[in-house]
Structure 1
Amino acid sequence: MFKLGHNTIERVARFGYGARGIVYCLVGGLALLAAIGQGGRAGDSESAIRWVLAGPFGAVLVGLIAVGLLGFAVWRFIESVTDADRRGTALKGLVVRAAHLLSAAIYTGLAITAGSLALGLSGAGGDAAQDWTAWLLGKPFGLWLVALIGLAVIGGGIAFLIKAFKGDVTDRLKLDADHCRWAKPIGQFGYAARGIAFLIIGGFFIAAAWYQASSEVRGLAGAFAALRAQPYGWILLAVVAAGHFAFGAFGLIQARFRHIDAPDIDQTDDAVAAAFRSVT
């Protein structure tokens, strides 16, 4: 009887890293073209996926991206629940695992969006972040929850910047020192750009809480627009856009060379069941 094992999970994870890498290469590339006035659009992941959809074999390619992003979400979930990366149960490890769980939810949503686009089931789309922010603001203590979300996003941005500054981005790559010399700066540049974007997006949530207006919330496209609006903004946008392209390129490197200690499916099932029991 065919049985799924750790090799299957590893393949899913690598396909996921590759899909995420491609999406951010597109996001960064299109934003960079917009910054230097050569067309393109400084948008978010969904707008990049829509750009692919408009091209040759768009539905097929977007469908593959959707499957890959779902695979990445599955890996993030497994990574968090089973502690596949041996983060441990100290505070830092638990925070990282919680962030991976949140990442799983975000990329599941993006995968569903991409799948809907591939199947022709999605229209122009709205701003989901603004919608659920408005819902939160209408609840008791919602203002404080939105502010906490903003602080958490800012915290994530600071973590990205620290990771870029410390230069430990290649620690989990199966590369020798010579190859790490070229992979490391790509990863550092990418993580730094993501960190800057997170700081700006977190600020939008803080503003939404302060003004009690969900319209203040913006995603990556809003962060790009905020950079473009500054003095010499096209330079700032070009640098951060190039950084997002680097982040995507580093994702492709991770797809090939990241160390993935994937558990067996049975072990994953046991870990998920244990996690479920712990919260019920």
Structure 2
Amino acid sequence: MAARCGYTAKGMIYITIGWLSMMAVLGMGGSNGGSSEAIGELASQPFGGVLITLLAIGLFGYTAWRLVQAIFDAEQKGRDWKGILTRLGYVLSGLIYAGIAINCVELLLHSGGSSGSTSSHTREVMSHPGGIVAIFLVGLGFLGVGLRQIWRGWHHSYEKNWHLNEMTRTQRLIAANVSRVGLTARGIVFMIIALFLCLSAIHTNPDNARGLGGALRAVAEQPFGPWLLGLVSIGLMAYGCYCLVNARFRNVNA
């Protein structure tokens, strides 16, 4: 149950991020932001407090599921170097979404709800011994995750985790195409984030670092930016739908 609630919450965040970016492209308001902006938008809706409460619960559930995957090797990744790296990735993912959940709680408690910018976090890490190397390695990590997301999207490797017998042929076709688009878009965005993190480390300038919102703004600044951002926005909404498919059909047995 915690995992399914978590995938639902994650899906809603990405759908909201994609929707806000699309609205910005169409000149209908919106913004090119990340999770904080998406949470703020949800909070501004009728019954926003209830939405944010449910979102926080779901994200804490997702964190718990990631930790179960990592600690108990729920998906049998093994203990070789590849399996260990994958399980460490689960831990990192869980911590990231725990941070977003805490941001939701802070917003509910009217204590700001801001987790700080990517550049400020980068500056903090760089201030410690070995921090520059750590940022560069994190950038390489994002690059690896981005490439893997694209690989998974085009090779349908995610389907082995689904209860395909519970899906109709039409559902399988729609889910496969939505997942391919969504994973590819998220992979591209992660690779952009990786580029900025690595440049930040190379130039010892934390202001170069960008998170999801910064990556979307970078896309918008390119030639044909609105068209590119529109495609990425659709892709992020598709990734949100992929998360919702996971919430319904994914095998989450621990």
Q: TM-score, normalised by structure 2?
A: 0.94
**1:170–1:180 contact (8 Å) kept in structure 2:** no
Q: Distance in 2 between matches of 1:139 and 1:40?
A: 37
Q: Deviations over 1:148-184 (max 9, x none)?
A: 1111111111111111121223221112471321111
Larger radius of gyration: 1
After the TM superposition, which of the residue ranges 132-141 and 38-47 deviates more from structure 2? 132-141
Query: 2:241 maps to which residue?
Result: 249
Aligned match for 1:214, one of 206, 210, 213 = 206
Instruction: Give the Cα separation in 2 of the matches to 1:228 and 1:247.
Output: 19
Instruction: Give the match for residue 267 of structure 1.
Output: none
Deviation at 1:238, TM superposition (A): 0.7
Q: Which whole-Å CA distance do the structure 1 matches of 2:218 and 2:237 have between them?
A: 19
Aligned residue number for residue 197 of structure 1: 189
Q: Are 1:52 and 2:64 counterparts?
A: no
Q: Which residue of 1 aligns with 2:172?
A: 180
Secondary structure at 1:170 match in 2: helix
Q: Does 1:31 align with 2:31?
A: no
Gaps of 5+ in 2: none
Please report how far the alpha carbon of residue 98 of structure 1 lies from its aligned counterpart in structure 2 after TM superposition: 1.1
Cα drift, residue 141 of structure 1? 2.5
1:163 aligns with 2:155: no
Whether 2:64 is the aligned partner of 1:74: answer yes
The superposition leaves residues 75-112 of structure 1 with CA deviations (integer Å, 9 ceiling, x where unpaired) of 00111110111222233222221111100110111100
Q: How does 1:130-169 map to 2 (within 5 A)?
A: 130-169=119-158
- Is 1:40 paired with 2:25? no
Q: TM-score, normalised by structure 1?
A: 0.86
| Residues matched between the structures, number | 251
**CA positional deviation for 1:124:** 5.5
8 Å Cα contact 1:208/1:216 also seen in 2 = yes
Counterpart check, 1:232 vs 2:187: no
Query: Cα distance, 1:250 vs. partner?
Result: 1.0
Aligned-partner residue type, residue 121 of structure 1: S
CA shift for structure 1 position 123: 5.2
2:87 is the alignment partner of 1:97: yes
Inter-partner Cα distance in structure 1 for 2:52 and 2:128: 36
Question: Structure 1: which amino acid aligns with 2:99?
Answer: G
Distance in 1 (CA, whole Å) between partners of 2:154 and 2:114 is 39
Name 2:9's counterpart in structure 1: 19
How many Å apart are 1:116 and its aligned residue? Answer: 1.1
8 Å CA contact 1:169, 1:188 repeated in 2? no
Look up the equivalent residue of 2:65 and give its one-letter code.
W
CA distance in 2, matches of 1:120, 1:69: 19
**Identity, % of aligned pairs?**
35
SS at structure 1 position matched to 2:195: helix
State how far apart, in whole Å, the 2-side matches of 1:76 and 1:193 are. Answer: 22
- Which whole-Å CA distance do the structure 2 matches of 1:80 and 1:113 have between them? 23
In the other structure, the counterpart of 2:74 is 84
3-state DSSP of counterpart to 1:63: helix
Contact map agreement 1:170 1:187 (CA 8 A) in 2? no
Change (3 A) 1:124 1:92: closer
Q: Which residue of the partner structure matches residue 113 of structure 1?
A: 103
1: CA distance, partners of 2:135 / 2:119: 11
With 85-94 and 39-48 compared, the bigger mean Cα shift is at 85-94
